C-alpha cells in the first residue's frame, strides 16, 4: 500500500515535469551546514551555473557578478531614469541624495542579504539572459549585481539570493511575465532536495486528482516582507492552548512563512504557554526530558520513543488545520537525543509566529497569487514519501 501511494505521488510530479511551456521547474537542495535552501540558475554569455540561496519572502534577485570567471557579453546596465529602474525601486526615494541622478548613470539598487540583514553600499541593476529550461531557451531577467562582501553569511558556494516574493524584481514575478504563466507556484522543500514549480498545469488523470483532493486551503496574505497565513489557535494532542494572539492592525494575528529561518519561532509569551503544554503532553507519553541543546529548549531522550505529541495550527476554522507530526516537530541530534524544533522568538518580534523551514519540509504548498489562496498538504512522510523522491522526475541543474 505504501509503495502504491508513493507511486501516485511520483506520477503526480512526473506529470508536472511533462507540463506545457507555461510551467517551469526549479530544483532545490539544502545545505547541511547553514540549513539554507539553495537553487541554481545559469545566466549570461557564456551561460554559467550560479548557486543562489532561496528566500520565499525576498522581493528581488541579486548576484555577485564578479564571481564569474568570464564577464558576460550579454549583460546590459539599466540606467537610472529608465522604467525598469523606477519599477525596481518601487517608488522609494533615494535616501542619500535630494537630486535626481544623471540619466546616463547606472540604476543603483541595494538589495538586503536577508540572512544577515546587511544592506550593501553598492549595487547596479542589470539585465542578462537566464536559461530556464535549457541552453537553447533563455529569457532576459533583471537582477542586481552586488558586491562580494554581500555574500557573508550565505552557504559556501552561494553567489547571491533569489526571492519568490511579490516584488516586481523577484524571480517568480519575472518568470510569470516571461512565460505568460498563471501567477501560481508550488514549493516542496526537503532535508536533501526539493523543488519549485512555477505556473499551473491541467490535472486530469486519477493520480493528480487524488493528490489535489488532499490539499487544504487557506487565505494567504502578502506584503513586501513575504507570505502570511492567519493562525487563530494552537492545539497540542487535541487540547487548545490558552493564548492571546495579537490582532492589531499591523500584524492582524498573521503568521509568516519563511525558508531562511531554520525553525519555527514564537513570541516569548506564546512560546512559554506552548512549552508548558508540550511538556505536559510529553510527560503523559512517558517521554524523558534531557539537557537542552542550543538553540532548542525542550530536548528528550529518543530511546523507545515512537510517537510524540501532535501539534495543530488552527487556521480560519476548526476544519482547517496545519498539522505538524513528529518528523516536522522533532529534530534528531544523534541517536539518543531529539529536540522540539520550536524556539523562543523574543519579546517583540515583528510577527508573533513564524513557521520556519524545518516545519515546511515535505509539505506541498501551492501559492495562488491571483486568488490569494494557499493550498497545503499533510506531510508526505505519512505516505512513505518525500519531496526528495522526485528529483529524478525533474530537470537537472545543468538544464536550468
The per-residue pLDDT for range 225-234, each reduced to its tens digit, is 899 999 999 9
The per-residue pLDDT for range 314-335, each reduced to its tens digit, is 998 899 999 999 999 999 998 8
The per-residue pLDDT for range 107-150, each reduced to its tens digit, is 998 989 999 999 988 899 999 999 875 545 788 999 999 999 99
Q: 54, 50, 82, 78: which is closest to 63 by C-alpha?
A: 50
More confident position, 10 or 26: 26
Could you give the CA distance from residue 237 to residue 260 in angstroms, rounded to a whole number?
Answer: 28
pLDDT of amino acid 382: 84
pLDDT of amino acid 253: 59
* Phi, psi dihedral angles at 313 (to 5 degrees): -95, 110
State whether residue 139 is helix, strand or coil. Answer: strand
Could you give the CA distance from residue 266 to residue 270 in angstroms, rounded to a whole number?
Answer: 6
Could you give the CA distance from residue 123 to residue 62 in angstroms, rounded to a whole number?
Answer: 9
Q: Average pLDDT in the 323-348 region?
A: 94
> Residue 259 has which C-alpha cell?
525558508
Quote the pTM value: 0.88
More confident position, 98 or 190: 190
Going by pLDDT thresholds of 50, 70 and 90, the confidence category of residue 180 is confident
Q: Average pLDDT in the 176-180 region?
A: 78
Could you give the CA distance from residue 240 to residue 320 in angstroms, rounded to a whole number?
Answer: 14
> Average per-residue pLDDT in the chain?
84
Kindly tell me if the per-residue pLDDT of 62 is higher than 50.
Answer: yes
* Strand ranges across the sheet with 299-301: 289-290, 299-301, 337-340, 330-333
State whether residue 316 is helix, strand or coil. Answer: coil
More confident position, 138 or 9: 138
Q: 261, 146, 167, 197: which is closest to 12 by C-alpha?
A: 197
Going by pLDDT thresholds of 50, 70 and 90, the confidence category of residue 15 is very low
Domains of the chain, start order: 2-203+391-399 (2.40.70.10), 216-363 (2.40.70.10)
> Residue 118 has which C-alpha cell?
546587511
Kindly tell me if the per-residue pLDDT of 306 is higher than 90.
Answer: no
Amino acid at each position: 500500500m505504501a509503495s502504491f501511494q508513493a507511486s501516485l505521488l511520483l506520477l503526480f510530479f512526473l506529470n508536472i515535469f511533462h507540463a506545457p511551456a507555461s510551467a517551469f521547474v526549479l530544483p532545490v537542495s539544502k545545505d547541511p551546514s547553514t540549513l539554507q535552501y539553495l537553487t541554481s540558475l545559469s545566466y549570461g554569455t557564456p551561460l554559467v551555473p550560479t548557486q543562489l540561496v532561496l528566500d520565499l519572502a525576498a522581493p528581488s534577485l541579486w548576484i555577485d557578478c564578479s564571481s564569474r570567471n568570464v564577464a558576460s557579453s550579454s549583460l546590459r546596465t539599466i540606467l537610472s531614469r529608465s522604467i525598469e529602474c523606477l519599477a525596481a525601486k518601487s517608488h522609494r526615494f533615494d535616501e542619500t541624495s535630494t537630486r535626481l541622478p544623471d540619466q546616463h548613470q547606472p540604476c543603483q539598487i541595494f538589495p538586503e542579504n536577508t540572512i544577515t540583514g546587511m544592506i550593501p553600499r553598492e549595487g547596479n541593476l542589470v539585465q542578462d539572459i537566464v536559461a530556464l529550461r535549457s541552453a537553447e531557451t533563455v529569457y532576459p531577467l533583471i537582477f542586481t549585481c552586488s558586491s562580494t562582501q554581500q555574500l557573508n553569511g550565505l552557504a559556501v558556494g552561494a553567489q547571491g539570493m533569489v526571492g519568490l516574493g511579490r516584488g516586481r524584481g523577484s524571480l517568480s514575478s519575472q518568470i510569470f511575465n516571461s512565460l505568460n504563466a498563471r501567477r501560481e507556484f508550488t514549493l516542496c522543500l526537503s532535508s536533501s532536495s526539493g523543488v519549485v514549480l512555477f505556473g499551473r498545469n491541467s490535472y486530469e488523470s486519477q493520480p493528480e486528482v487524488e493528490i489535489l483532493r488532499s490539499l487544504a486551503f487557506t487565505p494567504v496574505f502578502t506584503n513586501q516582507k513575504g507570505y502570511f497565513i492567519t493562525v487563530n489557535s494552537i492545539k497540542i494532542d487535541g487540547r487548545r492552548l490558552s493564548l492571546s494572539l495579537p490582532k492589531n492592525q499591523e500584524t492582524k494575528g498573521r503568521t509568516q512563512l519563511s525558508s531562511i529561518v531554520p525553525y519555527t519561532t514564537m513570541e516569548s509569551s506564546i512560546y512559554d504557554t506552548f512549552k508548558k503544554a508540550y511538556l505536559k503532553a510529553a510527560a503523559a507519553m512517558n517521554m524523558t526530558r534531557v539537557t537542552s541543546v542550543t538553540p532548542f529548549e525542550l530536548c528528550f531522550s529518543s530511546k523507545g520513543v515512537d510517537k510524540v505529541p501532535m501539534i495543530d495550527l488552527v487556521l480560519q476554522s476548526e476544519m482547517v488545520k496545519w498539522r505538524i507530526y513528529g518528523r516536522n516537530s522533532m529534530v534528531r541530534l544523534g541517536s539518543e537525543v531529539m529536540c522540539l524544533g520550536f524556539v523562543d522568538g523574543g519579546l517583540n518580534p515583528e510577527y508573533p509566529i513564524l513557521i520556519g523551514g524545518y516545519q515546511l519540509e515535505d509539505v506541498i504548498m501551492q501559492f495562488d497569487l491571483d486568488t490569494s489562496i494557499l493550498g497545503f498538504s499533510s506531510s508526505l512522510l505519512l505516505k512513505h514519501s518525500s519531496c526528495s523522491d522526485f528529483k529524478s522526475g525533474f530537470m537537472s541543474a545543468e538544464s536550468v
